[in-house]
């Protein structure tokens, strides 16, 4: 067969265009190549939930150009679906179109698919090959794989800090430690998440909107507040039109709950033994709400709790080239008895964003699920 790499890289580039658009569906790209192995007949990526998947978009693209796809090869970054969800099975559409071969990056972890798409293609006489682009496709859909396999979203904690690790002054002032370029980059990471999560302390101090304003966003992520005692003000800036607000509490205060529900929020009571919100149960609930990625922008207390409970998968840290001295730290937990108890990460990438440094770090082995 022809070298799959160029066409799969093209399909992966298409899949990246679905970031922030296809939630809660995976980000998938598809390129249909003629039997001669040279001509691209059609291409596309997954659209909004309930709309066409990548394979359907590619078939439509080929049809609009007047190309017949019988005998062609479809390069797709994830196994074509085999179930009736919001849309019909893509594997059946490929068979009906006369596709002769499917080259897929990897199998879909969704139990409703999980190899069934490949099986139905093979049963219809379609050749199926897997492997090209597997690492890139899985990384692009790390949250979807996490939700399907672990039953929890992928949790990424964003922190903006000074070079000496302070996120705010002792009086809480934090605007702005990092540059406008770093803030815009952080909004691009917000855009790829299903929800942006914060704590009641940050909400009361800063009244953040937790939306995407400084980067392109085909959809706004929903907002989540960890609020043990239901102190969220009904006029908080997070209550913007067109997105869901979920407030997790440890007490079921009916009057306060009613006020927030009247503002359109979903209030979920998940008390832990210490009287605070059960954070692990919260993540399981978010998975039930079809959230793939959680983007945390919170204060040192909630950051510390999430780290202490082992719920953080990845850190996105922006370091400004300045020293603050006394101030609030990135995360409050401990004290540790010895350095052997430190929470270890491995760096995935580093680079300049304006005058600041961006670090992406992950718990070793956390993505092996």
The catalytic residues are 55
Q: With the CA atoms of 319, 322, 324 and 330 taken in that order, what torsion angle do they form, in degrees rounded to the nearest 10?
A: 0
What is the C-alpha separation between 206 and 184, in angstroms, rounded? Answer: 18
Q: With the CA atoms of 293, 358, 5 and 82 taken in that order, what torsion angle do they form, in degrees rounded to the nearest 10?
A: 0
HSE toward the beta carbon, residue 91, CA cutoff 13 A: 27
Q: How far is CA 119 from CA 80, 288, 317, in A?
A: 10, 28, 43
ω before 34 within 30° of 0 (cis)?
Answer: no
Q: How far is CA 329 from CA 13, 174, 204, 322, 356, in A?
A: 38, 12, 18, 15, 18
What is the C-alpha separation between 18 and 23, in angstroms, rounded? Answer: 9
Burial of 55 (0-12, 13-18, 19+ CB in 10 A): buried
Helices and strands (H, E) in the chain, number of each type: 11, 16
Stated as kind and residue range, the H or E segment containing 174 is: none
| 268 three-class SS | strand
Write phi, then psi, for 102 (nearest 5 degrees). Answer: -120, 125
What is the C-alpha separation between 333 and 58, in angstroms, rounded? Answer: 50
């Amino acid at each position: 067969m022809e070298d799959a790499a160029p066409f799969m890289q093209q399909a992966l580039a298409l899949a990246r265009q679905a970031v922030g658009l296809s939630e809660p569906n995976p980000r998938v790209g598809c390129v249909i190549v003629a039997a001669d192995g040279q001509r691209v007949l059609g291409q596309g990526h997954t659209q909004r939930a309930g709309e066409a998947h990548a394979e359907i978009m590619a078939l439509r693209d080929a049809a609009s150009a007047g190309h017949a796809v019988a005998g062609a090869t479809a390069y797709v970054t994830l196994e074509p679906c085999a179930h009736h969800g919001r849309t019909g099975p893509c594997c059946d559409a490929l068979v009906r179109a006369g596709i002769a071969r499917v080259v897929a990056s990897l199998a879909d972890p969704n139990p409703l698919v999980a190899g069934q798409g490949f099986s139905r293609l093979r049963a219809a006489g379609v050749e199926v090959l897997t492997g090209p682009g597997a690492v890139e496709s899985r990384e692009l859909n790390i949250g979807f794989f996490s939700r399907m396999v672990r039953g929890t979203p992928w949790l990424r904690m964003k922190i903006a800090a000074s070079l000496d690790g302070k996120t705010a002054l002792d009086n809480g002032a934090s605007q702005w430690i990092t540059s406008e370029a770093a803030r815009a980059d952080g909004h691009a990471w917000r855009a790829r998440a299903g929800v942006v999560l914060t704590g009641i302390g940050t909400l009361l101090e800063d009244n953040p909107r937790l939306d995407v304003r400084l980067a392109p966003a085909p959809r706004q992520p929903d907002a989540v507040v960890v609020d043990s005692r239901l102190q969220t003000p009904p006029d908080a800036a997070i209550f913007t039109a067109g997105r869901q607000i979920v407030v997790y509490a440890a007490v079921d205060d009916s009057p306060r709950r009613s006020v927030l529900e009247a503002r359109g929020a979903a209030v979920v009571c998940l008390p832990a033994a210490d009287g605070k919100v059960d954070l692990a149960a919260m993540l399981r609930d978010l998975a039930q709400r079809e959230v793939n990625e959680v983007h945390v922008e919170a204060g040192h207390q909630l950051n510390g709790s999430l780290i202490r409970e082992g719920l953080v998968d990845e850190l996105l840290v922006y370091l400004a080239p300045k020293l603050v001295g006394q101030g609030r730290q990135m995360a409050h937990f401990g004290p540790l008895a010895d350095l052997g108890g430190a929470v270890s990460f491995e760096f995935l990438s580093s680079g300049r964003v304006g005058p600041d440094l961006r670090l992406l770090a992950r718990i070793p082995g956390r993505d092996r699920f």
